[in-house]
Amino acid sequence: MRRVSESPGSIAVEPAPAELASTLDRLRGALSRSTVERILTRAAAVFGLVLSLQAIPVIASSTTYVDPVWLSVEPEVLLAVLLLVVLAAVLKRGVRVMMTVFALLYFVAFAIWPLCVSNTSAALGTQPWLWSGIAVAMAYVAVALPVPWAAAYIVAVTAVYVGIHVQPSGGSAELKGSLLDAFYVLLIGAFMLMLTTTLRRAADRVDAAQQTAMQRYARAARNHATEVERTKVDALVHDSVLTTLITAARAETETERDAAVALSAAALETLQDAPGAFDLDSDVSLNDFAARLVDATQLLSPRVSFSTEGQIAGRIPGRVADALFSAAVQALINSLQHAADSDAADDVLRTVSVHVTSVPSRPDFVAVVGSAALPPALTASAVELTVQVSDTGIGFDVHAVPKERLGLRVSIRERVESVGGSAVVHSMLGGGTSIIVSWRPADS
């Protein structure tokens, strides 16, 4: 098998700065714009339905002066739209449309109120039953419409109320009292509008901060990856090229010169092969993957046993191969560093195994990672790849690992999950540790 010239310290790519990852963790738990919108629409839908129930007694008492046809049509239509608003909020579809429809129907119903009253003398001293739902209509427009349109609606519906309430069909109320009621209604509508706007702007700021943190994280990760690659190249040049040059310079006998020539050929082969190892934009054969993994395992510790199970044939995307390889090596490094007591001899048994299982897959499946589409691994079938790193060491409590320890959470789990795979950790104090990373095609 071909020996990959990599130093143990450069195999696993460390994550971006921990403070950026901590920022992302905090922002993930914050309220985003989509979360705020969902809360606002559902709260307004339930609030509207519950608050509208107070209109039932008023509707019942309006039978003496409201035309029976109008009294049976208007409440039923508005109640039906209210139920549709609640349904839309539950289904998360068309909520704003239904809220706008209710607000418009409510405004029309208020405007034509004089046509609904059949006995104006009986309506003296009363108040239109639609008054009970004015706060609902204001809440809906505050959520569903842009701020200028919502403000215009709140002012317009309040003005219509004042104009209706001072007429005989609206109860012949005094203008002063109607204006006072209108003032209170305007305060309620303004409060709803300001609350909705404030929550949305706060959520937008959170989203912007999260986007900025993500960009910083990605930029730091790219810079770090570049630095790691530079370190690999430096180590390659130092370990292969400089060693070859020193050997050639010190060669005095014919045997030493022959050895220098052979070493030079090996260094050239290493330099030619190194740039093409695990190309992220092309497929990698499982045989090459297993060969590189066993080489890295032997570089880290010759005492680690390596095994394969299944037919090591087929190909997987380069991104997947790189993620699983790096995660497995990081898991082995963690085992070498932490599986044995510091004051005892390291007699821990360690194993690395590769399992390959054929799984059915559509001939044209394409695995998507982020915004990049990966080519299919096989045309007629695909494979599920699993790498298991185990030891018989002291073990640890998985749930007690501090968040600042990013090797397990970022270098292993998040790296594998980023390409659609999974990472499972089994460990018990005194019972050893087993880390299993696996990947299978998304369409299988």
pLDDT of residue 104: 92
Shared domain for 253 and 353, answered yes or no, is no
Question: Out of 108-117, 152-161, 331-340, which region has the weakest mean confidence (pLDDT)?
Answer: 331-340
Shared domain for 335 and 196, answered yes or no, is no
Shared domain for 35 and 137, answered yes or no, is yes
Shared domain for 142 and 287, answered yes or no, is no
Shared domain for 371 and 431, answered yes or no, is yes
Instruction: List the Cα angle 184/189/193 in 5-degree steps.
Output: 150
Give a yes or no: residue 366 inside a domain: yes
Give a yes or no: residue 444 inside a domain: no
The last residue of one of the domains, among 258, 276, 294, is 276
Buried/exposed code over 374-406 (b: 16+ C-beta within 10 A; e: otherwise): bebbbeeebbbbbbbbbbbbbbbeeeeeeeeeb
Shared domain for 259 and 368, answered yes or no, is no
Give a yes or no: residue 44 inside a domain: yes
Shared domain for 381 and 402, answered yes or no, is yes
d(CA 336, CA 300): 8
- CATH code of 428's domain: 3.30.565.10
Shared domain for 334 and 377, answered yes or no, is yes
The last residue of one of the domains, among 242, 257, 276, is 276
Global confidence as pTM = 0.47
d(CA 382, CA 217): 33
Of residues 360 and 193, more confidently modeled: 193
Give a yes or no: residue 198 inside a domain: yes
**409 falls in which pLDDT band (50, 70, 90)?**
low
The pLDDT of 386-411, averaged and rounded, is: 73
The last residue of one of the domains, among 255, 276, 297, is 276
First to last CA, the chain: 31
Q: Token digits for 254? A: 């014919």
Structural contact between residues 142 and 193, judged by C-beta atoms closer than 8 angstroms: yes
**378 falls in which pLDDT band (50, 70, 90)?**
very low
d(CA 424, CA 416): 10
pLDDT of residue 243: 58
Shared domain for 80 and 151, answered yes or no, is yes
Instruction: List the Cα angle 323/439/12 in 5-degree steps.
Output: 20
Nearest by Cα to 388 from 316, 304, 311, 444: 304
* Strands laid side by side in the 305-309 sheet: 305-309, 350-360, 381-391, 432-439, 422-428
Structural domain count, the chain: 2
Give a yes or no: residue 387 inside a domain: yes
Shared domain for 205 and 66, answered yes or no, is yes
pLDDT of residue 375: 42
Tell me: pLDDT of 2 over 50.
no
Residue for token digits 């009621």?
181
Shared domain for 207 and 328, answered yes or no, is no
Range of the domain at 133: 1-276
**389 falls in which pLDDT band (50, 70, 90)?**
very high
Shared domain for 265 and 304, answered yes or no, is no
